[in-house]
Chains A and B, each alone.
Chain A
């Protein structure tokens, strides 16, 4: 049972399963730090997955697919930004609507482009084929295979976690974003546009969410299935909350869920009793509830998250 190889495999799988969640979670962190609740990550991810699969399949180049996914993810997220920032719509309601729209649009376009619903034909040009083992570092036992012998998007996720941490804490724009989520009026009165900051936050989460979705559809063979996000967008939200709205925390929380996911698959194989396989599938979901329950008290969300910001109020 405690075979060395098995454990390393498990850990590597943890990283790989966690990647889409980590990406979506980190994107959501930036979005929520600017003050916008974003439950539409699921919808953005499915859009990213769809675009990546179609474009990569059509061009035969997964990199172009990835780029397209990022672009369209960002573009799609602007709808949420527009609804919440400019139209002052309730954030959760807008997020729910965006999710519905995303499912509908991808289904429709799928029929238009591919001709049938369900799953697209698998195209054997995967991004995973561009796996790159960092010379030297990848030889480190266990950690080497986990962190330094991975595929492009996984590396991007590491880089982005570090980048966003630096961004929030050390850059001017990052400071503005943080202020927009804590005390938007203070920011506005000092001459920085809160609207712009919030659009930015949502847009970033869209870009990153698109990448997260792309990972799902073009990492292995290129293929898109309706609903392939499987609730990961919401698990990413839970990771964001458990991670205390910090990029690093969100990443660690995502690792936790990735671990549960990886474990679940392996338990199915090793299951000698008659435990139904679905119980293992369900494990990450249940753990999310536990995580949100246990940890939500410890961390505090950005003070003004979810609250609308409107200039020119009349209460004088």
Chain B
């Protein structure tokens, strides 16, 4: 009997892994079922987890868990719902058909071009993890975009020069790219600890700097318009350092989907573990919640701020690695990548939770892919998606609005109660 929970854990993990791989890697345009198999397996994994909780901790704990999870998801879901409605009204008012548009959005993002959604999501998850991690320490890593560029450049540089076999070189490039993100955040981290300089400004400025450094890099690595056959983009990196594709083991997967998304999920799990199951994560969170109390207990505020920003830099740079080694296999001159800003939104939407970030990242990716499909097929401008995104963000982040409404309502009820009880007391002649 004791072994059942353990078996269930293993079963749950297996189901999750296989489900995840199938769901993320599948392409549905050929009408293949792998996508849905993946989803069902994931649902089953959740079910297994619930059974396990019931067996180990009892029915009460399970009900409690469900209630807590529902409460946590309610706000984001309500926010998404309300934003969709608002977007729909906006579309109606400006002369577009919201039903057609949303239909195309959902079909395009979730079904037809699911692979694009997944491809969009991966870098966002990395940058969002970066922002979320820093946020746990009370810091705003607004300049994640700059760390992204540094990671992308570093990954390209090493990929073009390394001649080791892929098994060795890919991890090396992974670390190398991440380190450049760390490097880029050292100055802001140092300044924050030493002088209190607000990291919003310093990381933002360095982000703009990195953006403008990338054309220099590209020109030096094969993209010089004066000499090159392919101006404004670097040489292509060798296939040995490309991230493996899903189609290597899922035969009918789309030819472009690479395993970067799996890497993102793994990294998210690692970050979750670091934050909630290690002493480093504990200290970082303590500093983020109450640095005075943390200090009083001997926790070094400066060291942990420094750590948090550096780790955040590493994470955002991985987004660059993901794009270069996974998707493009070269570095394009793209000054409007936007992974940083979108990553901030994704992190905020997930409430800063590492696992939540995976889901909100997929949501964002789906909205983008669906938006493009929608604009192609229904001529509704994809910018409406930007507005919906912004609105979702605003509504989710302003959760106080719900508690405020709740409080107001409760206060009205209470006043009625008190008024009626005073009236009753007066009648009795108290």
Contact = CB atoms under 8 A, between A and B. Distances in A.
| Chains A, B in direct contact (C-beta < 8 Å) | yes
Interface of A: 39, 79, 83, 87-89, 92-94, 96-97, 99-101, 103-105, 107-108, 110-112, 117, 227, 230-231, 234-235, 237-238, 241, 276, 278-279, 281-282, 285-286, 288-289, 292-294, 296-297
A292 B387 contact: no
B430 interface: no
A99 B341 contact: yes
B221 to A, nearest CB: 13
Contacts of A112: 94, 381
A39 B200 contact: yes
B383 A108 contact: yes
A300 to B, nearest CB: 11
A108 B391 CA distance: 13
B248 interface: no
B366 interface: no
B393 A100 contact: yes
Interface residues of B, number: 43
Contacts of A88: 400
Contacts of A110: 383
Contact of A286 (B195, B209, B400): B209
Interface string B373-391: 0000000010110110111
B386 A289 contact: no
Nearest to B338: A103
B196 A297 contact: yes
Contacts of A99: 341
Nearest to A111: B381
A227 B336 contact: yes
B384 A276 contact: no
Contacts of A105: 386-387, 390
Given A241-B198, A289-B202, A293-B195, 17 more contacts: A87-B401, A96-B142, A97-B345, A97-B393, A99-B341, A100-B341, A107-B383, A231-B204, A231-B205, A235-B205, A237-B201, A241-B201, A285-B205, A285-B206, A286-B209, A289-B201, A297-B195
B296 interface: no
A117 B336 CA distance: 13
Contact of B394 (A97, A111, A285): A97
Contacts of B126: none
Nearest to A43: B390
Contacts of B200: 39, 92, 234, 237
B398 interface: yes
24 contacts: A39-B142, A87-B398, A92-B140, A93-B397, A96-B344, A97-B393, A100-B341, A101-B387, A101-B391, A103-B341, A104-B387, A107-B383, A108-B384, A108-B387, A231-B205, A237-B201, A238-B201, A238-B205, A276-B219, A278-B212, A279-B216, A288-B201, A289-B201, A292-B198
Interface string B48-66: 0000000000000000000
Given A292-B197, A296-B195, A297-B195, A89 B398 contact: yes
A227 B397 CA distance: 24
B348 interface: yes
Contacts of B204: 231, 234
Contacts of B386: 103-105, 107-108
Contacts of A87: 398, 400-401, 404
Given A96-B344, A108-B384, A111-B381, A296 B209 contact: no
Contact of B212 (A83, A281, A288): A281
A285 to B, nearest CB: 4
A278 B216 CA distance: 7
Nearest to A286: B209
